[in-house]
Structure 1
Amino acid sequence: MTPLPRSAPLLELDHVAKAFGPHVAVEDFSLAVAPGEFISFLGPSGCGKTTTLQMIAGFLQPSRGTIRLEGRDLTSVHPSKRGLGIVFQSYALFPHMTAAENVAFGLEMQRVSRSERTERVRAALAMVGLAGYEDRHPRRMSGGQQQRVALARALVIRPSVLLLDEPLSNLDAKLREEMQIELRQIQRNLGTTTILVTHDQGEALSLSDRIVVMSKGRIEQIGTPQDTYERPSSAFVAQFLGKTNDFAAKVEGAAPARIVAGGWSAPAPVGVRGPVTVSVRPERIGFSDEGLPARVVARIFQGNHWLFQCETECGPAIVVRPNDGLAQPGEGEAVRLAWRPEDMSVSTGAAA
């Protein structure tokens, strides 16, 4: 069942689907977005996240289902009349216009007076850190500055919902991280309801109130970043949203039954039988005197933490441990791996 926000929804997608001939791009997509929420559509290329965003924007019509904004059916509403702000991956700035002219474009279409337009453009550029850049053309601006202009242009019209189609993907890693922080601060300060399309797991985790994980046109899971990461509802979510270890295990005994993986064991969930797969995040595994026997194949220093690649009889394992100044196992060393039962998820069937 799709979790709903506690407050009355601002935007609702009710069993929305989109097909292009025989190809179904989006199937049975339902979501309620509360005012002020930051939602991320996350998934691999071709999963339907951009198609869903384009249906919200009005660039594509749903094959079936309904999209409502503040209770109003948007099916027959033209994109320009929906009151939505959009930032594209390419920024789509007008090269012959200055930053101020680009930002003012939407206000001109709304027939806002010149005096109000000038003040709102000035405020929007200042909000994104571009005060003093009003007369600069896009060709004389960096990628990060162009991204800020595009964001200011989308926000200056005071949209009911801000739609972001991978707006940071063209930036280098350092600038992208900086812009993520700025984007989140701006969104929090304005309280603008925002939907982001991204394939970057870290971006979705750091920005979102809730994440909609998609695969092959369908919703796999909706939840907060922490819940989605720590309690994935499927093997796909666990693998896509960060690294995870899958151990082949079996259920032994009855009343109470136990899951056994090598030298590690824990109480089995009620009703689980036969071969199972135990999934554990790398940072939830520790080295212990008791547990699953393993051998360190490689260890990699990554600044604030160590990454260990291990071999076990139940499958390969990646272990991430903090750099706490203590001695760490060396390559080739025999170790035992252990984790808390609450830090694992269990699925029926053998690990792939």
Structure 2
Amino acid sequence: MTFLALEGLGKRFGSHVAVDGLTLGVEKGEFVSLLGPSGCGKTTTLQMIAGFVEPSAGAIRLEGRDLLAVKPAKRGLGIVFQSYALFPHMTVAENVAFGLEMQGVAADERRRRVGETLELVGLAAFSGRFPRQLSGGQQQRVALARALVIRPRILLLDEPLSNLDAKLREEMQIELRQIQRTLGTTTILVTHDQAEAMALSDRLVVMNQGRAEQVGPPHVVYERPATPFVASFLGRTNLVAGETVRPEKIVFAATGLAGKVRTRIFQGNHWLYQVETASGLLTVIRQNSGEAMPGEGEQVHLAWGKA
């Protein structure tokens, strides 16, 4: 039996179709990301799973049980929002313990579980601090700990890393994935960040106009996009004679498609090129190996292997 099943899930707001017949199965322990541009239906889907938005059509089942008749607080879900939503007048430990108090968990058990969870997220030494005394990354960990301490059946993440700077976001991606693997908690992430989704997920659900355009492991979706939308949304791409070619697959060669370098941009660990060819303007990414690379205005030849 599929752990979480979305069956023909739909949501209309007046004449606007936000989610259109979405069918998806999530297995226990999986990390699945709903990925897509603004307005694609990913957040509405998450809100329907959480119980904050009522579907217009379809069903949501958790281990075979119909969730639509279950109130949000009774669904056994942990949720981390983009804003973190921490209580400013409570300490870190009190914030994390809040959900357990609402469940009526005894004080001794609350202290034990809060301590274990703060240790897990690396905040054991910060239990007595208030949110205003924490960095953005530390606040994110508190929000995550508060969601995990109740031992949720599913963890829902609504763009939880979007407020962090690039370096901290990358660090938190690694930590989040390690924590999820340690606990084995079924996790659904909503994000518009392609790199984040590919780094964290067992499977991607690429959404467009309320529908799932493609579902699969990140490397499969990236290497074999099912539609032009997926190819263009998930990283840079070139379309050559009906063939999708990723920029990093193209090499400078002695023979091949002739072209002229229009633009060359240094980006640290790689060079980003735009090359004018008979097939149009192609994007090329080459790793910075320290070797001499073609400059702007140079004539080059491009080659790539078949997928």
TM-score, with structure 2 as normaliser? 0.98
Aligned residue identity for 2:248:
E
Is 1:314 aligned to residue 307 of structure 2? no
Task: Indicate which of 132, 155, 158 corresponds to 1:165.
Answer: 158
Number of equivalences: 307
- Aligned-pair Cα RMSD in Å: 0.9
Show the counterpart of 2:291.
326
Provide TM-score, normalisation by structure 1.
0.86
Instruction: State the secondary structure of the residue aligned to 2:111.
Output: helix
Please list the CA deviations of residues 201-252 of structure 1 after superposition, one character each: whole Å capped at 9, or x if unmatched.
00001000000000111111001000010000111101110000122x3xxx
* Residue equivalent to 1:110: 103
Distance 1:102 1:312 in 2: 58
Alignment of 1:335-346 (within 5 A): 335-342=300-307
3-state SS of paired residue (2:138): helix
**Per the alignment, in what secondary structure is the counterpart of residue 341 of structure 1?**
coil
C-alpha deviation, 1:341, in angstroms:
1.8
Whole-angstrom CA distance in 1 between matches of 2:79 and 2:282 = 42
Supply the distance in 2 between the matched residues of 1:334 and 1:279 (Cα, whole angstroms).
Answer: 23
1:180 alignment counterpart: 173
Structure 1: segments with no counterpart, 5+ residues: 1-7, 250-276, 343-352
What is the identity, as a one-letter code, of the residue corresponding to 2:260? R
The equivalent position to 1:302 in structure 2, one of 254, 261, 267, is 267
Match of 1:235 in 2: 228
Q: Which amino acid in structure 1 is aligned with residue 66 of structure 2?
A: D
SS at match of 1:292: strand
Measured against aligned partners, the alpha-carbon deviations of 1:151-178 in whole angstroms (never above 9, x if no partner) come to: 0000000000000000000111111111
CA distance in 2, matches of 1:213, 1:303: 29
Match of 2:208 among 199, 212, 215: 215
1:284 aligned residue (236, 245, 249): 249
For 1:117, give the aligned amino acid. R
Q: In 1, distance between residues paired with 2:263 and 2:51?
A: 51
The amino acid across from 2:253 in the alignment is S
1:201 and 2:166 aligned: no
**Partner residue of 1:244?**
237
Paired letter, 1:26 = V
Using CA pairs below 8 Å that are at least 6 residues apart, which structure has the higher relative contact order? 2
1:1-352 aligned within 5 A: 8-247=1-240, 249=241, 277-342=242-307
Give SS of 1:132's match. helix
* CA shift for structure 1 position 147: 0.6
Residue by residue over 1:117-158, the C-alpha shift from the partner in whole angstroms, topping out at 9 and shown as x without a partner, is 001001111111101211111111111111100000000000
User: Quick one: distance in 2 between partners of 1:97 and 1:49?
Assistant: 32
Equivalent position SS for 1:316:
strand
1:262 corresponds in structure 2 to none
- Cα distance in 1 between the residues matched to 2:15 and 2:272: 45
**Runs (5+) with no aligned partner, structure 2:** none
Structure 1 runs (4+) deviating above 6 angstroms are: none
**What one-letter code is carried by the residue in structure 2 that aligns with 1:230?**
E
Deviation of the 1:331 alpha carbon: 1.4
Matched residues in 2 for 1:341 and 1:207: separation? 28
User: How far apart are residue 46 of structure 1 and its match?
Assistant: 0.6
